[in-house]
Structure 1
Amino acid sequence: MAELEKKLNKLEIYCHSLKSGLEECNINSPYKMPKTQKLHPVSHQINVMEPFLAAVSDARSSVRLLSRALTLQLRHMGGKVYERVSFLLQPYDVKISLSKNTRGLTFYLQALLNKAFFEDFESVEFQKSASNQILNPMDRCEANFDSFNVLHRLTWEEVLNKGTRYFSEDFSRFCDRKMSEIVAMLGWNRTWPEPLLQSFFGASKSVWLVHLLATSLHPSLPIFRVDKGVTFDSVYMEDMGGDKAKKLVPSVVRIMVAPGFYVHGSVVKCKVLCRYLSNNNSFHSNSEDKGLTRLSSSTVNY
C-alpha cells in the first residue's frame, strides 16, 4: 500500500508538471489548443490511474481463473480440442500433456486467452476501423469513465437476470465477439457449463474495464506486446518462471502470457515465459516435456 501511495504521489507531481508545461506551451504557441478541448484535471488523472492499475491486476487474475477452468474442462472436451490447443502452441515449440504438469498447460492457455481478449485493444470498442461516436476527446473520456463506474459493479447474478445488453450494448457486443473467437480458437462448440460461463464473464468484464479506463484519458494509455524470440528485458518484462529457474538466465521470450502498458513515464510489465541460458551459455530445456517452462506454485499467484 505504501508503495502504491508513493507511485501515486509521483504520478500526481508528474501530471502537475505536465499540465503546467502544456499550458505554457499553449500560451506561447501560435497553434493554440482550441478552447473546446480542455486538459484533464490532475484529480481526474489520479482518479483514473489508481483503478486502472487495479483493473489490470484483476484482468490478469480473471483470465488466469478462466484458463484454470478450461484446463479442467479439457479432459471432457474430447481429443479434437486437445489437438487444437497443441496445434496453437506449435509455433512456440511447446508440447502439452494432460497427465503431466497441468499447471504449465494453464499458463499456456492463459497466453492464448490473453492474446484473444486483448486483440485490437487499441481500437474503438476493440474493432479495427470503428468510428468514434463521440468526437470531442474530453467528452469521450468522461463517457468512458462513466461507463466504468457503472459496469465495475456489475455482478454475474445481474447478468443472469437481465443479460449484458441491458447494462451496456457495447460490452454485450464485446462479450459476444470474444466468446465466438475463443470457441473458434478452441474448436469446441458444446454448451459451456455455468461455472465456465461465469469465469468467461469475469474475464470479459475485467478486460473491458481496462479498456474503458485506458481510454478515459487523452491520449489513451498504450498497450504493448512482445513476440517470441525477443531478447528478455527486465525493465518491460516479468519472467513468470524466474522463481523456479534462479540459477538460469532468461535469454529470449518463449511466449507472452499477458500484455503490458505504458503509464505516464512508468510501465506495467508484460508477463512472459522464457528460454533460459545455463552457466555454459546453452539453452535449457526439459527432456520430458520439450519447451514447457516449469513453474513453482508461488509463481501462479502473480
Structure 2
Amino acid sequence: MKNIYKNFKKRSSDLPVEYEFPAGSFLEFQVQENQSKLRALETMVNSLQSEIDAKDDDVLVLRKKFDKIQGFNLNLSIQLDLKKKKMDAGTDVLLTIRVFEAMLNDSVKSLRCFTKLLIDLMRRAGWDLEKAANSVYSDIDYAKKGHFRYVFLSHVCLGMFRNFDVNDFGLGDSQVACNGNGSIHVENSTIHNGYLRELIEHVASNPMEILSKNPKCEFSRFCEKKYEELIHPNMESSLFNNLDRKEKVLDSWKSLSVFYELFVRMASSIWLLHTLAYSFDPVVEIFQVERGVDFSMVYMEDVLGKCSFLGKTRPQVGFTVVPGFKVGRTVIQSQVYLTGLKCTE
C-alpha cells in the first residue's frame, strides 16, 4: 500500500484531475491481507490443537492411574470388610487359620534369629554352651553333636510364650492398646473386634518407635518383663562386659543396638500373635508337651525334620521347642526335640 501511494504521488502531477485510484487493487490487497491473517490463525489453531492433544494424552494417563488407585482402594475396602465380618463358612475359617500359621511362622523365624545371636554372644563371652544347655535340660540324649542349640531356642520360645493364655499376657492390669500414637485403655471384657483393631494399629506402627514414644505403654512393659525373664542381670553382664564400649549403652538393657532391635522385633511378633489369638472366637489355645511323653503325630512335630526312628519303640519327648496351638478344632503341632532318634542328615 505504501509503494502504491508513493507511485501515485509521483505521477499525480501528470494525471488528469478526474483520475481515480483503481478499486480492484484495494480489493486485491484486502484479499491478500485476509489470506495472511487466515494463515496466521491456522498456524495458531494448529499449535493450540497440538497442546490440546498433549493435554488429552496427559488426562488419559492420569485417568488410568486413577482407575488403578480406585481398584486398589476397593480391594483394600473389601479386605477390611472381610476382616470385620465373622467368618462362619468353612473356607473363611481355613483362611483365618492360615493367617495365624503364617504369623506363627514369622514369630518362630524371629525367635530363631534372636537365639542365634544370643548363642554367638555366649560363645564370644567364653561360655561352655553344652554345660549351659545341660543346666536347662539335663541328661538329654542328643541325636547329633551341636543339637544343644535347640535347648536355647526352647528357653527363648517358652519364655516369650509364657502367659500367652492370659488376655493381658500376665502384665496384671487392664489392657492398653499401644500403637505409637498414644495409649487406649480397654477393659478385660473387650470384644474380639477390639483385639483385631489393636492388631491393625500395631502392625501399622514401628515397634522401635512405639518404645521411644510410649515407654510406659503395655507393649513397652511387655518388652521389659520378657527381657528380665530371659536375660538375667549376671548373664547380661557376662555377655556384654567384654564388648567395645562404643557398642553398648551403659546402664541400660539396650546394651547392643543389633541385639536390642532383634529382641524388640521378636517381642513385637509374639505380641501381634497374642493379639490375633484373642481376636478369634473362641480364643486360640496354647499347649506344650511335657518331657517323657510318647511322640504323637497329631499334636507334635519333630523339630529336626530329617531324623528317623532307631527301632520299633516310639520315641519320647526330650523337651518342647515351640509350643502348639488349637484354633477351634484345628491343631497346629508343637515342635519337640525327641530322644531315641538317629539323624539321617
TM-score between the two structures when normalised by the length of structure 2: 0.58
One of 284, 288, 295 as aligned partner of 1:221: 284
**Residues 114 and 262 from structure 1, CA distance in 2 versus in 1: closer, same or farther, beyond 3 angstroms?**
same
Partners of 2:225 and 2:307 lie apart in 1 by 37
**Residues 110 and 171 from structure 1, CA distance in 2 versus in 1: closer, same or farther, beyond 3 angstroms?**
same
One of 232, 245, 253 as aligned partner of 2:295: 232
| 1:84 Cα offset (Å) | 4.4
Q: Where do 5+ consecutive residues of structure 1 fail to align?
A: 1-38, 278-283, 285-293, 297-302
Contact 1:165 1:171 in 2 (8 A): no
Aligned twin of 2:111 = 63
| 1:80 Cα offset (Å) | 7.9
Partners of 2:340 and 2:130 lie apart in 1 by 27
One of 255, 268, 273 as aligned partner of 1:210: 273
**Residues 181 and 106 from structure 1, CA distance in 2 versus in 1: closer, same or farther, beyond 3 angstroms?**
same
Contact 2:325 2:334 in 1 (8 A): yes
Aligned twin of 1:74 = 122
One of 156, 159, 182 as aligned partner of 1:116: 159
Give the counterpart letter for 1:251 in structure 2. P
Per-residue CA deviation, residues 256-288 of structure 1 (Å, 9 max, x unaligned), is 0000100121111000010126xxxxxx7xxxx
Matches within 5 A, 1:155-194: 155=206, 159=208, 163=211, 166=214, 169-184=217-232, 187-189=235-237, 190=240, 192-194=255-257
Q: Where do 5+ consecutive residues of structure 2 fail to align?
A: 1-84, 176-185, 241-247, 249-254
Contact 1:164 1:171 in 2 (8 A): no
Work out whether 1:271 is the aligned partner of 2:319: no
Contact 1:81 1:186 in 2 (8 A): no
One of 314, 318, 334 as aligned partner of 1:254: 318
Aligned twin of 2:197 = 146
Partner secondary structure for residue 228 of structure 1 = coil
CA RMSD of aligned residues (A): 3.3
Per-residue CA deviation, residues 226-272 of structure 1 (Å, 9 max, x unaligned), is 11111110101001234133655651100100001001211110000
Partners of 1:201 and 1:129 lie apart in 2 by 21
Stretch deviating more after TM superposition (178-187 or 119-128): 178-187
Partner secondary structure for residue 148 of structure 2 = helix
**Residues 265 and 120 from structure 1, CA distance in 2 versus in 1: closer, same or farther, beyond 3 angstroms?**
same
Partners of 1:110 and 1:211 lie apart in 2 by 19
Partners of 2:216 and 2:196 lie apart in 1 by 13
Larger Rg: 2
Work out whether 1:94 is the aligned partner of 2:140: yes
Per-residue CA deviation, residues 125-177 of structure 1 (Å, 9 max, x unaligned), is 21176456425442xx2221112112224446xx1x56355398121111110
Partners of 1:205 and 1:146 lie apart in 2 by 16
Stretch deviating more after TM superposition (80-89 or 168-177): 80-89
Give the counterpart letter for 1:110 in structure 2. L
Aligned twin of 2:88 = 42
Q: Comparing both chains, which one has the higher relative contact order based on Cα–Cα distances under 8 Å and sequence gaps of 6 or more?
A: 1
**Residues 162 and 169 from structure 1, CA distance in 2 versus in 1: closer, same or farther, beyond 3 angstroms?**
closer
Partner secondary structure for residue 275 of structure 2 = helix
Partners of 2:229 and 2:114 lie apart in 1 by 15
**Residues 136 and 242 from structure 1, CA distance in 2 versus in 1: closer, same or farther, beyond 3 angstroms?**
closer
Matches within 5 A, 1:272-291: 272-276=336-340
Give the counterpart letter for 1:229 in structure 2. G
Aligned twin of 1:197 = 260
Per-residue CA deviation, residues 199-252 of structure 1 (Å, 9 max, x unaligned), is 212211111111000011233111111111111101010012341336556511
Give the counterpart letter for 1:272 in structure 2. V
Contact 1:74 1:81 in 2 (8 A): yes
